[in-house]
Structure 1
Amino acid sequence: MPIPAISEPAPPRTLLRDDVYTRLRDAIVDGTLTPGERLRDQELATWLGVSRTPVREALLRLAQAGLVQASPGRSTMVASLDARAIHDAQSVVAMMHRLAVEQAVPQLRAADLAAMRVANKRFAAAVRKGDAEAAIAADDEFHGIPVRAAGNTALAAVLEQYTPVLRRLERLRFSSLSGRDSVGLHNTLVDLCEAGDVEGAAAVSHATWETLKPLLADLGEPSE
């Protein structure tokens, strides 16, 4: 008997795997899954409506990013806000965004700059309201524009891995007015990009991510 034709192809396995990873990552970042919470792959699979395989793969990736703690033969749980992991992630993310802007400035179009300004207005409004989720979404959109313009896939992969570690911390900042300094830095960054000032724009991009330093100090010194 011939195999019946399939009217709509099933989603590629890579898309399913990436979707599960993204949904679990976002649940950790937004606090749906809290630090120290045990993660059982069968429960997560049921919650997400998938098999256990993509969940297990996602948990491995989350462990590599420092969002999950997993030990062979022991339970897997949501990682705490570890000072060392966050300090390391902050320095890497700041440098990657600096590099992204250096590479992006010659590629940015007027439409890109306009989109950055619009995203920053949404960011400013969200910070004023104390809406951390909206602020993070707008901040992601703002910084994502030069990252995409740079077209550096290795750089983008590093940011995808380590930025969520910082976003957990930033939820605390963006829920208050303490994130408003970033609004001015964002405006300056767009102005410098528009002027074609590669070094100046890169320095401001780096400075934007350095505004996390006070929050890092509150975590204490990273352990050796």
Structure 2
Amino acid sequence: MEKLATERHNVDAVHDRLRGAILRGDIPPGEVLQQVALAEELGVSRTPLREAFRLLQREGLLEGSPNRSYRVTSFSPRDLEELYVTFLPLQALAIRLTIPLLQSSDIATMMGDLAQMDHYAEAQDVEGWEVPHREFHRRLIQHAGRRVVELLDQLSDHAGRYRRVYLAGTSYGFEAAAAEHRELLESCRAGDTNLAAARLAHHLAHTALDVLAMADDAYEPHALKVALAVAQLPLPDER
């Protein structure tokens, strides 16, 4: 039993370390992972490493090949669009479920998140900015239920991977994002679920469209535009 627990711990530790490195861009898109070298670097056998690879493949961060090699999933406009087609409507649902349950303390905490984002934006610190940014967005959907929150956390990680590659090291988007975040918070404070859902969907689509334009300005994101329209639809009793 102790051996099984140790193996599970090794798998979890390797998975978390590799996942973080991929999401941060330390292991770049398209890179082939060398199992022998990685196992030696991480101080584990190849068994937990292969299990961690399978978990990352299931999440969509690694791609396997018939010769049992793995590489980090490459970026593509289509992949980004498919990500946000899932992300937008689910985020709109989650914020609708959350707003009626928000307390004044939640609003105060989100105000603090915005202040921290302003601080890091002024310093042009993208990695520092990502921490309160992630917390702010998670609070917007915190009462949507465990399964929804966990899925959105995963999708948010994948979206952040794109943002880091295309936006890191620039001031691109900070001012527009700050204004949209303030509008989102005001909608939450007012308890306006319809407006908040529309603003959140627009905010996320703004980011996706900006990154798509930077990646391939000729790409036509038809599916993303449909998802945005769906996410912004008011509920029947709010028409």
Deviations 1:163-203 (A, max 9, x none): 22221221132532222211111111111111111111111
Structure 1 residue 167 corresponds to structure 2 residue 160: yes
Q: 1:23 to 1:117 in 2, by over 3 A?
A: farther
The answer for the alignment partner of 1:67 in structure 2 is 61
TM value normalised by structure 2: 0.78
Structure 1 residue 190 corresponds to structure 2 residue 185: yes
Between the aligned partners of 1:169 and 1:60, the Cα distance in structure 2 is 22
- Displacement of 1:74: 4.0
- Displacement of 1:58: 2.8
Q: Where in structure 2 are the equivalents of 1:9-24 lying within 5 Å?
A: 13=8, 17-24=11-18
Q: Identity of aligned pairs, percent?
A: 31
Which of 204, 208, 212 is the aligned partner of 1:216?
212
Structure 1 residue 149 corresponds to structure 2 residue 117: no
Structure 1 residue 94 corresponds to structure 2 residue 74: no
Q: 1:18 to 1:97 in 2, by over 3 A?
A: farther
Q: 1:127 to 1:35 in 2, by over 3 A?
A: same
2:158 maps to a residue whose letter is V
Deviation larger for 57-66 or 132-141: 57-66
SS across alignment from 1:148: coil
- The RMSD of aligned alpha carbons is 2.5
1:219 maps to a residue whose letter is A
> Which consecutive residues of structure 2, in runs of 5 or more, have no partner in the other structure?
222-239
The answer for the alignment partner of 2:111 in structure 1 is 117
- Displacement of 1:57: 2.9
Structure 1 residue 128 corresponds to structure 2 residue 122: yes
Which of 191, 194, 200 is the aligned partner of 1:199?
194
Between the aligned partners of 1:208 and 1:118, the Cα distance in structure 2 is 20
Deviation larger for 96-105 or 163-172: 163-172
**1:135, 1:174 within 8 Å by CA — same for their partners in 2?**
no
Between the aligned partners of 2:137 and 2:11, the Cα distance in structure 1 is 25
- Displacement of 1:19: 4.4
- Displacement of 1:148: 2.3
**2:7, 2:48 within 8 Å by CA — same for their partners in 1?**
no
Q: 1:164 to 1:72 in 2, by over 3 A?
A: farther
Between the aligned partners of 2:138 and 2:106, the Cα distance in structure 1 is 10
**1:83, 1:216 within 8 Å by CA — same for their partners in 2?**
yes
Deviation larger for 133-142 or 214-223: 214-223
Deviation larger for 172-181 or 96-105: 172-181
**1:89, 1:163 within 8 Å by CA — same for their partners in 2?**
no
- Displacement of 1:81: 1.2
**1:34, 1:78 within 8 Å by CA — same for their partners in 2?**
yes
Q: 1:110 to 1:47 in 2, by over 3 A?
A: farther
Q: 1:105 to 1:40 in 2, by over 3 A?
A: same
